[in-house]
Structure 1
Amino acid sequence: MSRPARASVDDESATDPATTGPAASRPTRRGPLAALNPLAKLAAPLPAMIVVVFSRDLVLPLAFIAFALVVLLAGARLSAGLVTALVVGTPVAALVLGVSFGIWVDPSSVAGPEASVVLFGVGDWSFTLAAYLVGLATALRVLAVLMLSLIAGLTSTGTEFVRAAVQNLRVPYRVGYTALAALRFVPRFGHELEIIRAAHRVRGTVAGRGPIAAVRRAFGTAVPLLASAIRHAERVALAMDARAFGAHRTRTERHLMPWRARDTVFVAAFVAASALIVWVTRAF
């Protein structure tokens, strides 16, 4: 008799309770990045993030933003709306954040010909091109770190990260799966909050407009939401105790998250590409 096959990473979403429901019945598109170990997608951009944080020019973070965008578009099956948000929203955010950060730049700390170019002013205060370039450099660093982190964030779930950390990093499963249970509280609380608000509307306890009424409604939902959280935490604790959770040093895993050769190749290729980007930008 043949042994039943273990659930793999690719078919994990079909059996994971966190992904069951109406949304799970629809087929999902999984790109090449989704098949990698979540820790590989977390470790590969880390050297690039460190380099970007300590950079002070405009070209290096801009190059890493473009590189991260290419990796996401090629390796992840993103929706058209998300692709549009990344392609259009990133330059808009860079321009807006550049102004926001540049306003806080001390005019006396910037020099050069750009310091004499005034973009706009209010009274005696003027916003120069030099201050904007300093703010833009900071904005690009922030966006570069964010774009690099999206490589792991958009192609992996919190459940996969916890399982990979427990299996590959030897994080104690008592800590990992307790954190996973707490993570799953968040969508449940959102559902409970909608139920409480609907009950208040039916009972006519949401009358009034303005900030005072909003604060009153918030306090009105806090107590039942806290009571629901305590009841749910008690049920989870009883279930974990009934299943002897934490009674043994090791735990048999149902969904395996192994570190494969392709994960090593991805990390090595990403680090090599990052080093090439640094070398090319420094050359110019």
Structure 2
Amino acid sequence: MTEVLRRVNPLAKYGAVLPVFVAVILSKGLALPAGIALASVLVLLSCSRQPLRIAVWVVLGLPLLAATFMMSLAVWTPAPPTEAPLFALGPLSWSPTAMLTAAATGARIAAILALALMVGLTTDTRALVRAAVQNLRLPYRIGYAALIAFEFVPHLRTEFQTIRLAHRARYAAVAASRRFELRRVLGGLTIPIAIFAGGIRHAERVAVSMETRSFGLHERRTERAQEPFLRSDWLWFIGLLALYAAVIGFTLRSS
């Protein structure tokens, strides 16, 4: 497996996937979203190198998610009164019509998630913002403000891990029988407060840093990295559109 999909301009991937999102949302049957989900998973796993944990989650988690939505939604989907249920569990019953309708809904959800994973797992947020600013002429004030918001979540995750390690080191010498005392349990409830305070300090540092760099003063800013839309990006854009168009055409013709 190669990392070729990570080197594609993010706009090519997003531009090819957005109309497919609309097609999946507007679809009614089961075959079209199922085909889109399968094609997205194959592209993701064949054109990018993913950790084994993520690959297993994608391969097993998407069908399990679709099956969960199918079984749960089928209970609440009305069926013809003369139709006999496939099986029943107490007051709950699952009819063929309800199962088919719910399966189509679950497949649409799985297809949307597969498309999002195919693009999201192979795209750097910084590259996406740079590509939008440089190629779509998105105002850098909007682009980099969004990038700061995206980067805030990993910062909070790092803060949480640091605080959790500090708590673990603090109670390392405490006997296991005393770690669940009330004052120590209540002390763990202060973690959200510490994360909130750390987030405020981080926001202040970012604001000062942006101010010292005259952010927003000029119409344009010099970019350290460039994200040009190359001929290969056009080929990927056309290729992804052709792949999904072929899947949609095949499923519509066979249904």
Q: Normalized against structure 2, the TM-score is what? A: 0.85
Residue number in structure 2 paired with 1:95 = 67
Residue 111 of structure 2, aligned match among 144, 150, 175: 144
Residue 217 of structure 1, aligned match among 188, 194, 210: 188
Give unmatched runs, 5+ long, in structure 1: 1-28
Q: How many angstroms does 1:151 deviate by?
A: 1.8
Residue number in structure 1 paired with 2:146 = 179
C-alpha RMSD of the superposition: 2.5
Q: 1:133 to 1:163 in 2, by over 3 A?
A: same
Give SS of 1:136's match. Answer: helix
Q: Return the alpha-carbon distance in structure 1 between the equivalents of residues 39 and 193 of structure 2.
A: 48
Q: Which moved more, 1:254-263 or 1:267-276?
A: 267-276
The 8 Å contact of residues 85 and 93 in structure 2, kept in 1 or not, is answered as no
Superposition map of 1:55-204 within 5 A:
55-108=27-80, 115-123=83-91, 125-200=92-167, 202=170
Q: Return the alpha-carbon distance in structure 1 between the equivalents of residues 161 and 39 of structure 2.
A: 40
Query: Could you report, residue by residue, the CA deviation over 1:91-127 in whole angstroms, capped at 9, with x for unpaired residues?
Result: 222222210121221234x88xxx324222313x422
Identical positions, percent: 35
Q: Tell me if 1:263 matches 2:233.
A: yes
Q: 1:198 to 1:132 in 2, by over 3 A?
A: same
Residue 210 of structure 2, aligned match among 230, 240, 264: 240
Q: 1:282 to 1:236 in 2, by over 3 A?
A: closer
Count of residues in correspondence between the two structures: 246
Q: 1:280 to 1:227 in 2, by over 3 A?
A: closer
Q: 1:173 to 1:155 in 2, by over 3 A?
A: same
Q: How many angstroms does 1:259 deviate by?
A: 0.8
Q: Return the alpha-carbon distance in structure 1 between the equivalents of residues 139 and 74 of structure 2.
A: 45
**Structure 1 residue ranges, 4+ long, deviating more than 3 angstroms after superposition:** 194-201, 206-209
Matched AA of 2:224:
R
Q: Return the alpha-carbon distance in structure 1 between the equivalents of residues 149 and 252 of structure 2.
A: 45
Q: Which moved more, 1:62-71 or 1:74-83?
A: 74-83
Q: Return the alpha-carbon distance in structure 2 between the equivalents of residues 227 and 200 of structure 1.
A: 17
Q: Return the alpha-carbon distance in structure 1 between the equivalents of residues 231 and 3 of structure 2.
A: 18
Give SS of 2:89's match. Answer: strand
Residue number in structure 2 paired with 1:40 = 12
Matched AA of 2:126:
T
Query: Could you report, residue by residue, the CA deviation over 1:128-160 in whole angstroms, capped at 9, with x for unpaired residues?
Result: 222111111100011011111222111112122
Q: Return the alpha-carbon distance in structure 1 between the equivalents of residues 25 and 50 of structure 2.
A: 27
